[in-house]
Each structure stands twice: as C-alpha cells, then as structure tokens.
Homo-oligomer: A and B are copies of this chain.
C-alpha cells in the first residue's frame, strides 16, 4: 500500500514514469491501477479533454503532432492517447503513422501513449477512459484522445471528450454520407485535412450542405481546413478549440456534458463487468453451455430459450457464496 501511495503521489507531481506505470496497471486490469485512479480522482477535471475521430488515413496522428507543437509553444502540457484498432495484417503501417509524434517523445511536457484494441472492446474503452483521467491528474493541460471512427467502442471513448473533432479528407464520401443519413453524430468541429487536394472545396461544400440540414444548436459547427503535415490551419483549429471551450463554459454546458459523460461511464463499467462475469461463467469447456449450444445448433432449443437457461445458471452462481477472491 505504501509503494502504491508513492505511485499516486509521483503521478500527481507530474512524474512521467509514474504516469506510464499507472496506465500500464489500468490497461492490464490490475487492481493496483484502479486504486491509483481512486486516489488521484479528486485531482481530475482540470484538463481540456479533446477527442479526435475520423477514418483511417485522414491524418489524425499528424494533426495531433502539429497541435502538440502549437500547444507546447504556448507553454501548455499535453497528453496524447491513441487508440489502435485491432489490425490483423497492417500493424506496421499504423505504427508508422504514430512515428510522426516521435519529435515529442523526449519533451517532459508531453506524454504519448498508444492502447491496442485487443479484442476486449468494452475493456479497452474502460481502460482508455481511466488512462485519460490519469493524464488529467498528472497535470496535463490538454489531453487528446485519438480513435478511428468505426465501431461502437471507439464512439464510446470519444463520447467522453469535452470537445469532439471529426477529421475528414477529400475522398471521405462515406463519412459525409453517414453524417447526412444521421448514422454518425454531428461533432463539435469538423477538420478537412490534406486540404492541398484539388477536391477539398467539393467535400467542404458537401459538409456545409449536411450541416445546414442539421438541427440548430447553440454552437455553430465550424469547418477548418488544415494541411497538418505542413502545419497549415493549425492556428485556426486551436482558435476553434478554444472558442468551443469558452462556449461550453459560458453556457454552463461543460458541467452538464461531463455529468452525462460520467453517468454513461459508470453504466458502461457496470455493464462491462457484468458481461465479463457472463463470459467467465460460459467457458468453452463448460459442459452445460456446450450441451445447450449443441441443442441450439440442432434446432431443438431456440437461442432466446437457451439464453434464459444460461442466465438462470449465472444468477444461481452469483447468489451462491464466491469461492476464493
């Protein structure tokens, strides 16, 4: 317990290695990690939490690199959390992307961390949010979370940011259609990166058309053109990030938004733990489960009835006293 106290203390003092260690504990679902979060939580809530999402190849890492450079120039400290999608056959390419952040690796005011999606979707989103809290507690002024905008887990992660930035490029026809059809939520800021491309104005016009159809809220979603690789448009993006934050604070919606986010975080943690319990109860080597599945495959018991039987079993196991820890 004493060494754990020290870890939390060192983290609060801004020690990079303590932060790295705490995130590893959380990522490994180590109870010590949860204890650290519990201890430092009263010191969170100060950082500006920004989520960047968008299709792979939109240049999110490069953009975050450029944002980090600009924030450092303004003497702000930065945390970056990159959520790696599970990539069975192109991991190299994605890691290569992240290399664009290397110039910041030696800067004490910058902390960069990647988290891999190792199949355990709910688990990843849970760990990512805890990691963001740890970065916040360690005194980072700005925390950027980067996810690929595909899949519910990624959406869950990004949903917890104060400001959500969607990064598109010329050629992002599918994302524009998804916005238009209402299957992708309208973010707070839209970036069109790689704006040196000749089709930039076409995609900007399409996005503007979609936004004009969207219900009007207090905040008018800006479209910012950037060419992150050359640092172009970054100042304009930072201005919009600050305007959005000021808007949240003026309207008093920052607290409201954070309450809603924390509420869904608590529920997500509960649901994820329940699901884990279920999966533990349903080992492949569980004879009853396998027998039931055989019956379902043979079309003798329907899936819903099989689920009812299994849930009764899980409940009975829950009601019985736990063996071991």
Binding site for B on A (CB under 8 A): 34, 37-38, 41-45, 55-58, 85-91, 93-94, 121, 129-130, 133, 148, 150-153, 155, 169, 171-175, 177-178, 180-184, 213-215, 255, 258-259, 262-263, 265-267, 269-271, 273-275, 278-279, 282, 292-293, 296-297, 299-307, 310-311, 314-315, 318-319
Contact = CB atoms under 8 A, between A and B. Distances in A.
Nearest to A302: B41
B177 A57 contact: yes
Contact of A304 (B85, B130, B175): B130
A193 to B, nearest CB: 13
B183 A304 contact: no
A269 B307 contact: yes
A85 B266 contact: no
15 contacts: A37-B304, A56-B178, A85-B183, A171-B174, A173-B174, A174-B174, A259-B293, A262-B297, A266-B307, A267-B278, A269-B303, A270-B310, A270-B311, A271-B275, A318-B319
Contacts of A172: 173-174
A262 B152 contact: no
A303 to B, nearest CB: 5
A293 B262 contact: yes
